[in-house]
Chains A and B, each alone.
Chain A
């Protein structure tokens, strides 16, 4: 029985790796028609596997579906961290905090929406827009008034951000009554609390969650990115813990009674379907690849390789670091939104700093600085851990979770001893390979992919 399950797990992991390979190959194809048909096919294959039965059970059970959706969220978080750590060399442990921010933000928006309160959407929406405008405006100001120290710039951004938030709360409270007839009350759903409008709100909430996480990361990263590598890591670890503490006290210290503090937020609509998860996954992969292959991406890579050389070449090192950090945290926020609406229940325990090492472990598993490795490792890791738990459940009963974490570190240790550069090293598949731009430049200028060395 367990052997059968083990074999089944391995087959599933191999099949998903093959599926990722196919997806990346299709995305990298030159013909637009092949691309579109291929993406639809890639989506449909998995969708079909949920419905087509072999014997009595579908090929991929609901449990596997959950793992797949979790794998999608994990991929997005890990890709964001890979942009920050793998490609830009900033050792960040704060990814999990931004993931948590995204999860709670988007969950709060949709939860309030279905309980007849539009303030979640309005406040976060206005807050993100006004905050973005404020950041943009102050940024323009700081480009005119040069030589402002980081701490002063941070203070200016902070004041403008707080002002924007205050205006957003005021606007939200002002406009909320207009939405009340559309939303109805709890138990009496209005015309806009289900069906297509809810899906649209879900989409907006996930994007807003990403944008909100990105703005927070901008405020946090601006002063903290000036620190050296390990100190930055520790400061971001501190950020994760501060966010976790705030989540634990969201009903007492923060004014969000619906988040229920340490007891966990329940009743989040489970809106994440495979279609949504796939859409966000492909979106993040495409954004990530295009960022890396653009001039911004080359600046990001050059900062990792040598900051001083990059500065000499005229690259704004601090600005580039901030860009990579903000984009990475945007991905984490989106992933949080997808995760919250898949699981339907958010507890601060899921955003603990110990769990927060997972994205780091995944990118090291897959190979630091390899997007393909991260994607493959995120899915493989999710299935591996859950498979391990399933196998041990039959064997050890209630002690299975502890046994899993006894075997998992040993596997980690062996992997680090055998392949310190990660499973895939620097290999990239299909769409993510550097070939696409190498075609456009002259052969003698085409540089091979810079060998990603681990930052000091």
Chain B
């Protein structure tokens, strides 16, 4: 045992290289940030109601991205695999709900079983059933994918698993595009419940048929509220699951050190399957809500939201659940503001530019933990 002062004196003196001309980069970044803030404030002052409207649409997008991003971030946190097939699980979720609603009328089942039920309750229970069935189907799909495609490759080089993930993604997209599966057309989505919209202008008013909201009013719909509530609930649920439950502890342990977790008696394979299942369930939920909100589906539906959600997960710090949420909100806002004030086709470019700039300032994302130094 050495006395404390000896340990202190023998501690290595950190090498601090001189940083010349550091101001050049800082001025560059500050100028960019100032320009962005200036543009946003200018537009906000010019038309506050339009600005708030755009912020609301960005929130809607952001909350859907948050639902998908959770799956990416949890899977990456545990198996260090970029699960490219996740966006396609999201697409499958929306298609399943489409078939349940359009073909089987499942959203009306309480009315068949209990004929005297009030309409509101029928819609509520019916829609929840549709969402639940879609989520269960997505879970089954994701667990199957994990068993068939990823599990045999767990000890192979990481690139092999990545290529497999890309392959599974291609498979789901193009298998879905076959005529007897989903077909490759755009399909109008039949909603299980009607969209109700309100506008705010001297109080909240319902928008009914024939009523056009007066200028400078802010409109919002029930789907925005549903997506908001669902996303926040899922976030809280995951926080409790990961922080408070046994399986959450197992997930964190597996993510930290797979070998040690195995030695502690954790069934690592089960934990990984569980992670895929949870992620897929929320992707399925997101798929249904996305389809309800934007009312058009096709087999490549999952590519763009999946990519955005993945970027959101990276932006917030991949592996961190609140990070994914924050990243998704930033992503949604960036996309909505770009569509509103710059130009619609530039939204992807702006989103990725933000990603690259954030990664340059914080290399592991906003809430990410710094990478461990290779020993």
User: Considering the chains assembled together, what is the distance between the CA atoms of A231 and B179 in angstroms?
Assistant: 38
Is B29 interfacial (CB-CB < 8 Å)? yes
B174 touches which of A224, A402, A412, A413 (Cβ 8 Å): A402
Knowing A149-B25, A410-B171, the reply to whether A416 touches B163 (Cβ < 8 A) is yes
Chain A residues in 8 Å Cβ range of B136: none
Contact of A151 among B25, B152, B173, B179 (CB under 8 A): B25
| Partner of A412 from B21, B167, B374 at Cβ < 8 Å | B167
Nearest Cβ in chain B — how far from A410, in angstroms?
7
Of the candidate stretches A5-13, A19-27, A161-169, A245-253, the one touching chain B is A245-253
Q: Verify B163–A228 contact, CB threshold 8 A.
A: no
Once the chains are docked, how many angstroms separate the CA of A319 from the CA of B175?
A: 44
Q: Which residues of B contact A421 (CB under 8 A)?
A: 157
In angstroms, how far is the closest chain B Cβ from the Cβ of A170?
24
CA A405 to CA B169, docked complex, whole Å: 10
Interface residues of A in 211-261 (CB under 8 A from B): 223-224, 226-228, 230-231, 233-235, 238-239, 241-242, 244-246, 248-249, 252-253
Q: Which chain B positions have C-beta within 8 A of A246?
A: 349
Instruction: Given A147-B18, A406-B174, verify A238-B25 contact (CB < 8 Å).
Output: no
The verdict on A368 contacting B28 (CB below 8 Å), with A223-B360, A231-B364, A416-B153 known, is: no
Q: Which of A308, A408, A413 contacts B164 (CB 8 A)?
A: A413
Question: Interface digits, A405-446 against B, CB 8 Å rule (1 contact, 0 not)?
Answer: 110111011001100110000000000000000000000000
Q: Does A332 contact B (CB under 8 A)?
A: no
Residues of A within 8 A of B166 (CB): 357, 360-361, 412
CB distance from B348 to the nearest CB of A (A): 5
Would you give the shortest CB distance from B202 to chain A, in whole angstroms? 40
Q: Is the C-beta of A145 less than 8 angstroms from some C-beta in chain B?
A: yes
Whether B177 is near chain A, meaning CB under 8 Å from some CB there, is yes
Chain B contacts for A53, CB-based, 8 A: none
Q: Does A146 contact B (CB under 8 A)?
A: yes
- B65 shortest CB reach to chain A, Å: 15
- Mask for A242-285, Cβ within 8 A of B = 1, else 0? 10111011001100000000000000000000000000000000
The listed residue (B157, B179, B349) touching A242 by CB distance below 8 A is: B349
Residue interface mask A140-164, B partner, CB < 8 A = 1: 0000011111111111101000000
A146 touches B25 (CB 8 A): no
B349 close to A408 (CB less than 8 A): no
A386 close to B (CB within 8 Å): no
User: Any chain B CB within 8 A of the CB of A307?
Assistant: yes
Choice from B149, B158, B159, B360 contacting A224 with Cβ under 8 Å: B360
Measured between alpha carbons, how far is A298 from B25 in the docked complex, in Å? 33
User: Contacts A149-B25, A405-B173; is A417 near B20 (CB within 8 Å)?
Assistant: no
A449: interface (CB < 8 Å): no
Cβ of A354 within 8 Å of any chain B Cβ, yes or no, is yes
Q: Are A405 and B174 neighbours in the complex by a CB distance under 8 Å?
A: yes
Asked whether any CB of chain B lies closer than 8 Å to the CB of A51, the reply is no
Query: Chain A contacts of B173 at CB under 8 A?
Result: 405
Within 8 A of A (CB), among B333-375: 343, 345-346, 348-349, 352-353, 355-356, 359-360, 363-364, 371, 374
Q: Which of B279-325 contact A (CB under 8 A)?
A: 303, 307, 310-311, 314, 318
Would you call B19 an interface residue if the criterion is a C-beta within 8 Å of the partner chain's C-beta atoms?
yes
Cβ of B114 under 8 Å from chain A: no
Residues of B within 8 A of A226 (CB): 360, 363
Main secondary structure, interface of B, reads helix
**B24 near A241: Cβ-Cβ < 8 Å:** no
CA distance A403 to B59 in the complex (A): 38
Number of interface residues of A (CB under 8 A): 64
- Cβ of A2 within 8 Å of any chain B Cβ, yes or no, is no
CA distance A414 to B171 in the complex (A): 13
Instruction: Write out, one digit per residue, whether chain B residues 142-161 have a CB within 8 A of any chain A CB (1) or not (0).
Output: 00000001001100111111
**A402 engages B348 (CB within 8 Å):** no
Q: What's the least CB distance linking B79 to chain A, in Å?
A: 12
- Report A93-114 CB contacts with B as 1/0, cut-off 8 Å: 0000000000000000000000
Q: Is the CB of A406 within 8 A of B171?
A: yes
Contacts A242-B348, A402-B178, A403-B178 given; indicate if A354 touches B303 (C-beta within 8 A).
Answer: yes
A412 pairs with B348, CB closer than 8 A = no
The CA-CA distance from A412 to B153 in the complex, in Å, is: 13
B112 interface residue per 8 A CB criterion: no
The answer to whether B20 touches A148 (Cβ under 8 A) is yes
- Report the minimum CB–CB distance from A350 to chain B (whole Å): 16
Kindly identify which residue among A153, A368, A402 contacts B177, using a CB–CB cutoff of 8 Å.
A402
**Residue B170 is within 8 A (CB to CB) of chain A in the complex:** yes
**Per a CB cutoff under 8 Å, which of B179, B356, B363 touches A228?**
B363
Closest Cβ of chain B to A393, distance in Å, is 15
- Whether, in the assembled complex, A62 has its beta carbon less than 8 Å from a beta carbon of chain B, the answer is no
Q: Which residues of A contact B18 (CB under 8 A)?
A: 146-147
Taking a contact as CB atoms under 8 Å apart, the answer to whether B22 and A242 are in contact is no
- With a 10 A CB-CB cut-off, give which of B153, B157, B159 has the most chain A CB atoms: B159
Interface status of A364 (Cβ within 8 A of chain B): yes
Residues of A within 8 A of B140 (CB): none
Q: Which residues 264-321 in A have Cβ within 8 Å of B in the complex?
A: 306-308
Q: Across the interface, do B314 and A234 meet the contact criterion of CB distance under 8 Å?
A: yes
Q: Besides the contacts A234-B310, A235-B355, what 19 more A-B pairs have beta carbons closer than 8 Å?
A: A149-B25, A151-B29, A227-B360, A227-B363, A228-B371, A231-B314, A231-B359, A233-B82, A238-B352, A238-B355, A360-B159, A364-B159, A405-B170, A408-B167, A409-B167, A412-B167, A416-B167, A454-B157, A454-B158
Q: What are 24 sample pairs from A and B whose C-beta atoms fall under 8 A apart?
A: A148-B22, A149-B19, A149-B21, A158-B28, A224-B360, A228-B363, A228-B371, A234-B311, A235-B359, A245-B345, A245-B349, A248-B345, A252-B345, A253-B343, A306-B374, A361-B166, A368-B157, A405-B170, A406-B171, A408-B167, A409-B171, A413-B168, A420-B157, A456-B374
Closest 3 CB pairs of A and B: A151-B25, A238-B352, A454-B157
